[in-house]
Structure 1
Amino acid sequence: MSVDPLPVIARGLILDSEFTSCRGTVMDANPDMPEEMAGRIVEEALKFVAACAANPATGLAPSRIVDEGWHALILHTAMYAELCDRLGSFVHHFPGYDPTNYDPPIIDRTRDLITALGYSPDPELWGPPSDETLVSVAAQCQHAPDCTIVIIPKPKPKG
């Protein structure tokens, strides 16, 4: 299966109505969060999922803030499955329950692969988990270094 080229804006990976719903999920989990911030978080999560799907053998991880958006995407199960299918690999979530767990080289690698796809990572949302001066999130997991995301791609059909 060939994967269509990625849109220039990660938000274009899903329908506007799906984006709005995911943004609402982030806001529901974080009642004091402004809508604009919740949208930024969902957009970064879309970039993260795209990078994971495009680099299935590479251990990647979201920042704690971006993980909040990833959780919102995953909760929309049908949309998330369709998104991953369009991207070519299902990106599984392996929770890391230590919110202080942070490995800068993994985050740097993730941001570099997001950039390689043509997206611009939002630097404010890819910081260490202790940096809650920008935004505090409900997600209590941090995915590095013991639980980086490695995707096993679907076998290609014969023929």
Structure 2
Amino acid sequence: MGKSARSLLTQEQFDAVCSTVQTDNPDVSEDDAAVIVAEALAFVATCALFPTARLVPSRVVDAGWHALILHTQTYAELCARLGAFVHHRPEEPDPTRYDQDVIDRTTALVEEAGYSVDLDLWGPPDGDLVSVAAQCQHSEPRERPIIIQPKPKKG
């Protein structure tokens, strides 16, 4: 069992982000929203830990990331604690860009970062077990869709 990504936020912050997932995706249960947000938190923490890796979220995990980003103060504070601001660069959905090898590499690094991975949330865009409204996808173009900006050193 890995570290708890839920512990990266206070309970109040976590609940607020889960609520946003449910507002954006009315068919998602409270339990599923919590799993999605936890997986998104683990993904963001992994991106901050491995800033040169080319990491890509699944469509479902991306929905949790979208909800997290909408809570700008919470997201900025989280990134500051993680030591790097993880920028989001969306792309229009295109199932032909889906690459299972990239997803496998991402989930392996999430596990290397110490988090458990819920593989049910990391499937192809057309095979999502949890239906989400996020209309965005990430792939590995020449310009990385996820850019890590390290926290400036003081003094």
Q: Same fold (TM over 0.5)?
A: yes
Matched residues, percent identical? 54
Name the stretch that deviates more: 68-77 or 107-116.
Answer: 107-116
Question: Does 2:141 match 1:131?
Answer: no
Deviation at 1:156, TM superposition (A): 2.7
RMSD: 1.5
Describe the SS at the equivalent of 2:84.
coil
Question: Does 2:105 match 1:109?
Answer: yes
Q: Deviations over 1:79-117 (max 9, x none)?
A: 000000000000000001125231212211111111011
Q: Is the 8 A contact 2:54 2:140 kept in 1?
A: no
Q: Would you say how many aligned residue pairs link Structure 1 and Structure 2?
A: 151
Deviation at 1:8, TM superposition (A): 2.0
Q: Is the 8 A contact 1:48 1:114 kept in 2?
A: yes
The residue correspondences of 1:54-65 to structure 2 (distance < 5 A) are 54-65=49-60
Match of 1:4 in 2: none
Amino acid paired to 2:150? P
Match of 2:72 in 1: 77
Name the stretch that deviates more: 119-128 or 92-101.
Answer: 92-101
Deviation at 1:118, TM superposition (A): 1.1
Match of 2:149 in 1: 152
Q: Distance in 2 between matches of 1:55 and 1:150?
A: 11
Match of 1:21 in 2: 16
Question: Does 2:7 match 1:12?
Answer: yes
Gaps of 5+ in 2: none
Gaps of 5+ in 1: 1-6
Question: Does 2:48 match 1:53?
Answer: yes
Q: Deviations over 1:4-40 (max 9, x none)?
A: xxx9210000000111010000000111111101110
Amino acid paired to 1:129? P
